[in-house]
Chain A
C-alpha cells in the first residue's frame, strides 16, 4: 500500500461519512414525519404514511439506488449529483424502517400520559411535543442505533454506482495492486471501527436522554431480539457483546 493509495482510502472514508451523515439526517426526518403521521387521527393520513412505509420497506435499497440514479433523471428531468442521489435513496428507504421505530415507541407510551395531556386541554400537537415525544424518544435510541449501523452498511451500495466511497476505494486499490485480501481486510476493519464509534455515540446519547426523563438505560437484549427484525426490518445489531 503506497501513500497515494491510502489517500484514496481516506477520500473514500470522507465520502462515506458525508453520505452517512446526510442520509441519516434525511432518514431521521422521514422517520419522525411518517412515524408521527401513522398515529394521526385522520385515517387518510395514517393510510398514506402506512403505504409509504410498506412500499419503501418492501423494496431493496440497492434497487432504490438504481431507480434514483437511472429512472428519476429522465422521468423528472432532474440530474442529481451522486451524493444527493445516494442520500435520497438511502434516506427514504431507511426512513421507512425508522418510521416503524417511531410509531412503536409512541404507541408504547402509557395511555394514561396521553389522557393526562387531554385533561390539561393540550392540543394534539402540544401533547405530542410536550408529553409523548420526550418519553418515547429515549426508547427509540437503541433500535435507531441498530438502524444507523444498517445505514452505514447500506452506504457501501453507492459504490456500485461508481461513487467514490470507502467500498469503492477498496475496489480501486484492488485494481491498482492486483491483490485483494489486504485491502478488503483494511476496508472491513475501517467499517467496523466506524460502527463501533457510532454504537458508542448512540449509547452516550441514550444515557443522556434517559437521565433527562429519570430512567436508567437498559441493556437487556434477549427479549427484544425476537421482535427486533420486525421493528427495524433490517434486523438486529450489536445488542451488547463485543462491540459494547
Chain B
C-alpha cells in the first residue's frame, strides 16, 4: 500500500471547496428539518383526523424510504413538472424533508414531556392557545429536544455525501472528481473519511457541552 502525500496536497484546495458545500448543505438542511419537523409535530396535534392521518402517512412514508431515491425523485421529477432548482437546492430540500420526519418525533416527545399543569396554568390565566404554544409550551419543549436535534444534525452530516449522486460537489463529490481526473483514489477518499470522523467527533463533543449547559 503506497501513500502519496503529494496527492493529498493536490487534493486539498478541492477538499476545502467540498467542505464548504457540505457544511452549507448541512446548515440549510438542518434549518429546514427543524422548521418542517415542528410543523409536522404541530399538525399531528390537530383535532381533526383529516389532518393527522395524511400527515402521519406522508411522514411515515418519507421516513421509511431511502433518502437517495427521494433525491433522485426530486432531482429528475421536479424538472418534468417544470420546476427547476439547482442540484444543491434540491439536495438541501430533500435532506431537510427527510430529516424533518425524524425531528417531528423528537418535537412530539418534547411537547408531550411538558407537564399538563403548564397547559392548565395557561388556561387559568386565559392565555390564547397560540400564545400558550409560543411562550409557554414550545420554549420548554424545545429546550428538552436540543440534544436530540443535535444528534440528528450529526446523522445528517453523514448523509450529505448522498448529494454527490445528483451532481453536487460536496466533499465526496470533490473526492470522486479528483480520483477520476488523477486515478488516485486512496488519498482523497481517506482524507474525506478522516474529515467526516473528525467533524462528527467534534460535533458530538460540542453537543455534549451544550447538553450540560442546558441541563444546568
- Asked if chains A and B are in direct contact (CB within 8 A), the reply is yes
A230 to B172, CA, bound (A): 25
How many pairs of residues, A versus B, come closer than 8 Å at their CB atoms? 173
Please indicate the chain B residues that have their CB under 8 angstroms from the CB of A74 in the complex: 1, 185-186
Q: Does residue B201 face the partner (Cβ distance < 8 Å to A)?
A: yes
Please indicate the chain A residues that have their CB under 8 angstroms from the CB of B144 in the complex: 226
CB distance from A109 to the nearest CB of B (A): 24
A160 to B68, CA, bound (A): 9
B contact patch SS: helix
Instruction: Find out whether the CB atom of B72 lies under 8 angstroms from the CB atom of A222.
Output: no
Q: Which of A208-244 contact B (CB under 8 A)?
A: 221-223, 225-230, 233-239, 241-243
Q: Does residue A70 face the partner (Cβ distance < 8 Å to B)?
A: yes
Instruction: Find out whether the CB atom of B185 lies under 8 angstroms from the CB atom of A71.
Output: yes
Given the contacts A63-B192, A229-B148, A229-B155, A171 and B72 also touching, CB distance less than 8 Å: yes
Please indicate the chain B residues that have their CB under 8 angstroms from the CB of A226 in the complex: 106, 109-110, 113, 144-145, 147-148
How many B residues face the partner with a CB closer than 8 A? 59
Instruction: Find out whether the CB atom of B65 lies under 8 angstroms from the CB atom of A195.
Output: yes
Instruction: Find out whether the CB atom of B65 lies under 8 angstroms from the CB atom of A170.
Output: no
Q: Which of A173-209 contact B (CB under 8 A)?
A: 174, 179-181, 184-185, 187-188, 191-192, 195-196
Please indicate the chain B residues that have their CB under 8 angstroms from the CB of A243 in the complex: 60, 64
Q: Which listed segment binds B: A3-11, A110-118, A131-139, A149-157?
A: A149-157
- Contact check: which of A60, A192, A239 meets B159 at CB < 8 Å? A60
Please indicate the chain B residues that have their CB under 8 angstroms from the CB of A229 in the complex: 102, 106, 148, 151-152, 155
Count chain B CB atoms within 10 A of each CB in A60, A152, A187, A239 and give the residue with the most: A60
Please indicate the chain B residues that have their CB under 8 angstroms from the CB of A64 in the complex: 193
Please indicate the chain A residues that have their CB under 8 angstroms from the CB of B121 in the complex: none
Q: Which of B157-216 contact A (CB under 8 A)?
A: 157-162, 164-165, 172, 175-176, 179, 185-186, 189-190, 192-193, 196-198, 200-201
Closest to A154 in B: B66
Q: Which listed segment binds A: B9-17, B73-81, B131-139?
A: B73-81
Instruction: Find out whether the CB atom of A156 lies under 8 angstroms from the CB atom of B152.
Output: no
Instruction: Find out whether the CB atom of A70 lies under 8 angstroms from the CB atom of B162.
Output: no
A29 to B189, CA, bound (A): 27
CB distance from B127 to the nearest CB of A (A): 25
Closest to A229 in B: B151
A229 to B152, CA, bound (A): 7
Please indicate the chain B residues that have their CB under 8 angstroms from the CB of A233 in the complex: 151, 154-155
A234 to B159, CA, bound (A): 10
A155 to B109, CA, bound (A): 29
Please indicate the chain A residues that have their CB under 8 angstroms from the CB of B66 in the complex: 152-156, 167, 191
A79 to B102, CA, bound (A): 37
Q: Does residue B105 face the partner (Cβ distance < 8 Å to A)?
A: yes
Closest to A231 in B: B151
Please indicate the chain A residues that have their CB under 8 angstroms from the CB of B190 in the complex: 67, 71
- Contact check: which of B57, B61, B109, B160 meets A222 at CB < 8 Å? B109
Instruction: Find out whether the CB atom of B68 lies under 8 angstroms from the CB atom of A239.
Output: no
Instruction: Find out whether the CB atom of B158 lies under 8 angstroms from the CB atom of A167.
Output: no
Q: Does residue B67 face the partner (Cβ distance < 8 Å to A)?
A: yes
A74 to B2, CA, bound (A): 9
Instruction: Find out whether the CB atom of A157 lies under 8 angstroms from the CB atom of B68.
Output: yes
Q: Does residue B69 face the partner (Cβ distance < 8 Å to A)?
A: yes
Q: Does residue A61 face the partner (Cβ distance < 8 Å to B)?
A: yes
Closest to A65 in B: B161
Instruction: Find out whether the CB atom of B73 lies under 8 angstroms from the CB atom of A66.
Output: no
Instruction: Find out whether the CB atom of A184 lies under 8 angstroms from the CB atom of B76.
Output: yes
Instruction: Find out whether the CB atom of B105 lies under 8 angstroms from the CB atom of A242.
Output: no
Q: Which of A103-144 contact B (CB under 8 A)?
A: none
User: Would you mind naming 7 contact pairs between A and B with Cβ atoms under 8 Å apart?
Assistant: A67-B190, A153-B65, A153-B68, A167-B66, A184-B73, A185-B73, A229-B151
> 9 closest pairs, A vs B, by CB?
A229-B151, A58-B197, A156-B66, A225-B109, A180-B76, A70-B185, A195-B64, A60-B158, A153-B66
Point out residues on A near B: beta carbons under 8 Å. Answer: 54-55, 57-64, 66-67, 70-71, 74-76, 149, 152-157, 159-160, 167, 170-171, 174, 179-181, 184-185, 187-188, 191-192, 195-196, 221-223, 225-230, 233-239, 241-243
Given A156-B69, A225-B109, A237-B64, 4 more A-B residue pairs with CB atoms under 8 Å apart are A54-B197, A62-B161, A192-B61, A235-B99
